[in-house]
Every structure is written in C-alpha cells, then in structure tokens.
Chains A and B, each alone.
Chain A
Amino acid sequence: MDMIFSVLDATLRVSTPLVLAALAGLFSERSGVVDLALEGKMLAAAFAAACVAYIAQSPWVGLGAGIAAGMAVAMLHGMVSITYNGNQLISGVAINMMVSGVTPVLALAWFQQGGRTPTLSDEARFTAIDLPFADAIAHSPALKTFFGHNILVYLALLLIFVVSWVVYKSRFGLRLRAVGENPHAADAAGISVKGVRYMAQAVGGALCGVAGAYLVLAQTGAFIQDMTAGKGYLALAALIFGKWRPWAAVLGCLIFAFTDAIQIRLQGVELPLIGSIPDAFIQALPYVLTVVLLAGFMGRAVAPKAIGVPFVKSR
C-alpha cells in the first residue's frame, strides 16, 4: 500500500513541470507557432530562478525571475517566428542549443562552481506547505500523497482548470484557436494575428518559466547544466499525445510521469511472466508512444491547421 502512495506521490512531483510545459506548448501551438523551444524556455527559467533566488534568498523572487526569463526566450522565438516569418522549427532547435550553451558559461563565470549554481538554502526554496492539520498528514501516507507538496504543485493543478477555461470558453481562447486554424479568416474578422500569437508566446513563456523555476526551487535546489534533460520535448510529446487538448495533454504528462516513477521502483524487480524490464525501455516508452500515436495507430493526432506556417497578410 505504501508503495502505491509513494509512486503516486512521485508521479505528482515529476508531472508538475511536464504539465506546466505542456500547457505552455498548448498556447503556442494552438496559435499556430510550433514550439520546439519549450526545452530552452524551461532551461533559461531554471537558470534565472536559481541565480536570483540565491541572491535574493527568496523563492518568490526566484519564481518571478524564472517567469521573466521564460517570457524573454518566448519573445525571441516570437520575434523570429512572428515578426520575421522565420522557420519555427529551426528557431526552436537554435534556441535550445543557445540556452544549453550559454547557461553553464554564465554559471561558471558568476559562481565559479563548474556549470552549476550554488545550492539554495531552505528559505530560498519552495518546501511542502504547512497545513493546519499537519499532524494528521504526517501519520497517513494517503493524505501525505495529496497534501504534502509545495505550492507550485497546487498552482499547476489550478492552472489546468484555468487554461482549459481560457482556451475553450474565453474570448482570447476563441481567437487563439481561430488564429491557429485559419489565420486569414481571423484576420478578415479583424483579429490581429500577430498580436494573438505574441500573446500566446508570452503566456507560454510564463508557464515555462514556472516549470523551469519548479525544477530548481522545488526539486534540485540548484541549477545544473542541461537539467531539463529533454523534459521540454517530453511535454511536447504529451501535448501531441493529448491531440493539442489541455486535459488529454495533462493525462499524457501523468502517464509519462507515472512510468518514470515506477521505473525507479522496478529496477531489478522480477515481474511475473515478463521478467525484469530494463529501465531504458521504460525511459523510451513516452517517445515510442508518441511515435505510435503520430503514426495514427491509436486515433489520429491532428495538429492545428496553420501550425508552422508564418502568417503573411494577404493584400
């Protein structure tokens, strides 16, 4: 029983940054801009959050810095993709390489600890929040699984509701989807395609900022070189897995996080019938699932129609 709760507990912790990044990608891609840069946005945010939280000794200031960094990288991606009509795929790849390269250089120059930042003290991190009935929680693994987390986990949970409301029920959401499906029709209806796309980048950048800050402020306590380790791409995979819909994408994130959580516990364990599974297979599972889905063997994943196409106003 305890094992089930510890797996669920780990699933929640691992899925939080994935969920945030997948929701970020949802905004960008629903607006018609491919977002391979999720990885770079998260990594930049993690670095900024680590530096600023260390100097300010406050997780909230660190979170703010992370959000600002995520948005700054998103604006670069937006400038290339929206203003200069550049190739969005190449922009994403380039941004990921740039961030992956520049962060350890700056970390080394500023903190002289190799490619990482100093470890944060507890005051500068997000720790499990104290609830009035803390005593009850301490004795029950079931309650601890759901109530023993830091505030960002609950923020992510709340954001799922907010995002799905915004995308499907709000005026901005309607415009967002219109711009991603048929920008020329949206343009004819008087919507600023570029404006909506920039807005989507800004929101996505902020969400990636929270995701990156979470990695440092709630998990490792320091920036480590390439610490996102493919989480941006994993979030993108979850987004595709969820066919560009918020709840389904979150489900994808939970499945991926769950496989990650059981992987650690399955190491060397002999399962009935199958024997022991090498962790590499479980690690590769999300990517294999995404390919299978993309191949149309598990229902069709149809991308927003205008995705990847720069909008050039017709005259």
Chain B
Amino acid sequence: MSQPANMPRWASLWLMPLLNLFAALFVSGLVIALIGEDPVECLKLMINGAFGYPEGIGYTLFYTTSFIFTGLAVAAAFHAGLFNIGGEGQMYLAGLGVTLVCLQFDYLPAYVVIPLAMLAAILFGGAWALVPGYLQAKRGSHIVVTTIMFNFIASSLMTWLLVDKLRMEGSQTPATREFAQNAWVPMLHEWFAPLGVELPNTPLNASFFLALIALVLFYLVVWHSPKGFVTRTVGLNEKAARYAGIPVDKVIIAVMCVSGALAGLAAINELLGSTHRMNMGFTNGIGFVGIAVALMGRNHPVGILLSALLFGALTQGGLDLSFEKPAITREMIIFTQGLIILFCGALENLFQTPLSAAFKRMLKNQ
C-alpha cells in the first residue's frame, strides 16, 4: 500500500503508526473538548479502565482476542493485494456454523464439540468469503463491493434465521437457547484456579491462546513458506506472478477462504467464550475493527498483536469511561476507530511526505 520512501526502517515501523495514532487521538480529544469534557482526564480514565485493575485487563484481553482474529483476516487478504471488508459478515456466518454444531451436538464431551465448532467456524467463515473470492478471481468483480454486499446479505439471512428458525421456543428475543456447558471454551480464571492462581472473573478464555498461536502461524506461513511467498508475489505484482506461472486465480480464492476462516474464529471467542448463545448482531463491528487493526499493525503479526491490544484497550477503557462520563458513549470509540483507519490507511502521506523529506535533509547534512 505504502512505500517506505526514504525513511529509516524504525521510523516507518514505529514512528509513523504512533504519529497517526496521536493524530487520531488528538482529533478525538478536540471533539471531547467540544462537548465540554476534559480530554486529558478522559484519557486517564480510559487507560485506568483498560489496564488499571485486574478485571479491566481481563476484559481488554478478551476484546483483544477477537480483534487479533479479524485483524489477521484483513491482513491475510492484504498480502494478496485484496481488501476484504467482509470480515463482519464472515464472522456472522461462522457464528451460524458454531451455533448449528452446538445446538446439535452439545451433549458430546467438550473435546469433541469444541473442535467441531471450530471446524464449523472455519468452514462457514471461509465459505462466505469463497464466493467473493471466486467472483474476483474468475469474473473480475471488485472484492470490496462484493464483500460489502455479502455483509448485508449475511445480516438479512441471519435475521431471518434467528427470528424464524433458531429462536428459543417461547422467547421474544431473537437469540438461540444457551449452549450446554460442554461447548463452553474454558475461562482462564477457571483454568488457573486449581493451580492456585487467582484470576478475576472475566470472559477472557482459552481462545486467547488460540489467537496467539494463529499469530505465530501467520508469521511462519506468510514469510517462511512457499504458500506465503506465492501470496505476497500476487499481492505485490499480479502480472509478474501470472508470468512466473503462479495460478493467481487459485491463490486469490484460497487466500480469501483463509481470510474468512480467520474472521470466523473470532466467533468462537464471542459465542463459546462469552455469551454461550447466538444473539442477533453479535459481531457488533468486530469485523470492521479488524480493518483498523491490520492497517495500524502494518499487516505484521507483531503489529497486529499490539494494535489489537490497543483496540481492546480502547473498547474496554471506552466502556469504563462511558460509565464515568455518560456524555461519552460507546460511539465515541467508533469515531476514534474511524479516525485511526483514516490516518493509518488513507492519510499516511500527510506525515510520510514531510517526514521522509526531513530524513533526507538530515542524511545530506551528515
């Protein structure tokens, strides 16, 4: 997306994202000041809410888990030069797979039903990305537009299923019944209790480790495997890839499936780790946050981990902040996320051009 033009590596890897983050926080601060609150106090409250006490940290890491998955999903597609904006729909459909497995098989022991649910999440999420991937590869339909359309189609489809087919009998709310305990991914505080480690009661669950494993695998596959090489070649220069004999169409379709599957795994964290049932609209924008996570994290696992942590902290800290300051609602965080996407993903030239000029001058003077 962006060239590291004339800038030292550390500057383009660390300085630029930090500058963009500060710019986004600064604009958010202006809006907070505009509605008559103190931005510095709000920032302190947010940091304290996210990291200041054990429950806060637990929730922050819980949100981080989902963001790692959707961030990896967007990054995987980016490496093949594709902008997958459909993480939201892919995660929603993956939730359907998880739900169907759990409603059918949650009498089975945990070590059967949880892997089955994960498999379903991967298959359903991947399948929902397969069609846009296929259309991009074979028919040239723009992936951005088709994945947006698929988000809307997923939303309509799931509304219908939840209202008419999957709703718990005798209930008015469009949600399924609670899954049996066999299907719950173990909470970390339950896991650590027998070892004598006291963790606070939060939805942070074993999916967090799954996310960390996914980060490592992502690194190995993208930078140290033939498949990753092929993917990056397609992303950097599709024509050269085609000329070198790489089956570009197949790569695009496969990468989209992997991307959808990664987005799908976020559904495991939400459904089996926290709510233990499917609610309408449970994805709640997590798929879109993945775009911000990938852009800010420069599509690299280390960056994605850090920026997922940042967005996890923003979400948890923002919720805490909205209790303290009722004027600053959850939507303020959506605004900040939008700003971060804007500055990191589209306005990088704002700082990059003057910065690389400054570095050039410095080098000349030496």
Contacts and interface: CB of A to CB of B under 8 A. Distances in A.
Interface of A: 36, 80-81, 84-91, 93-106, 108-110, 115, 225, 230, 233, 236-237, 240, 278-281, 283-284, 287-288, 290-291, 294-296, 303
A294 B157 contact: no
Interface of B: 1, 31, 34-36, 83, 85, 131, 135, 139-142, 144-146, 148-150, 152-153, 156-157, 159-160, 164, 288, 291, 295, 327-329, 331-339, 341-342, 345-350
A105 B346 contact: no
A80 B327 CA distance: 30
A80 B35 contact: no
Contact of A278 (B139, B164, B288, B331): B164
A84 B291 contact: no
A121 B142 CA distance: 44
B149 A105 contact: no
B333 A101 contact: yes
B142 A303 contact: yes
A94 B149 contact: no
A41 B19 CA distance: 27
Chain B contact residues, majority secondary structure = helix
Given A291-B141, A296-B139, A94 B345 contact: yes
B349 A85 contact: yes
Nearest to A77: B346
Given A237-B149, A303-B142, 5 more contacts: A36-B148, A86-B348, A90-B345, A91-B346, A100-B338
Contacts of B157: 280, 284
15 contacts: A84-B347, A86-B348, A89-B85, A89-B144, A91-B346, A94-B346, A105-B331, A106-B34, A108-B329, A109-B34, A115-B331, A280-B156, A280-B159, A291-B141, A291-B149
Given A89-B144, A94-B338, A284-B153, A102 B291 contact: no
B341 A90 contact: yes
Given A97-B334, A237-B149, A89 B83 contact: yes
A4 B141 CA distance: 36
B335 A98 contact: yes
B345 A291 contact: no
A108 B335 CA distance: 14
A66 B350 CA distance: 28
Given A80-B342, A98-B339, A93 B160 contact: no
Nearest to A289: B149
Given A91-B346, A287-B149, A290-B145, A115 B329 contact: yes
A89 B342 CA distance: 10
Contacts of B288: 93, 97
Nearest to B343: A94
A104 B331 contact: yes
B348 A101 contact: no
B3 to A, nearest CB: 11
Contacts of B348: 86
Contacts of B83: 89-90
A105 B325 CA distance: 12
A110 to B, nearest CB: 8
B157 to A, nearest CB: 6
B332 A105 contact: yes
Given A233-B152, A295-B135, A94 B331 contact: no
A26 B164 CA distance: 38
Contacts of A288: 149, 153
Nearest to A234: B152
Given A109-B36, A115-B331, A280-B157, A98 B349 contact: no
Top 5 A-B residue pairs of the complex, sorted by shortest distance between their CB atoms: A101-B335, A97-B338, A280-B160, A101-B334, A98-B338
Contact of A101 (B85, B291, B332): B332
B329 A104 contact: yes
Contacts of A36: 144, 148
Given A240-B145, A281-B156, A291-B149, A225 B331 contact: yes
A104 B288 CA distance: 19
A284 to B, nearest CB: 4
B142 A91 contact: no
Contacts of B146: 291, 294
A94 B342 contact: yes
Given A278-B164, A296-B141, A291 B150 contact: yes
Nearest to A81: B346
Contacts of B346: 80-81, 84, 86-88, 90-91, 94
Given A85-B349, A89-B83, A296-B140, A101 B160 contact: no
B286 to A, nearest CB: 13
A91 B348 CA distance: 11
A101 B345 contact: no
A185 B144 CA distance: 28
Nearest to B350: A84
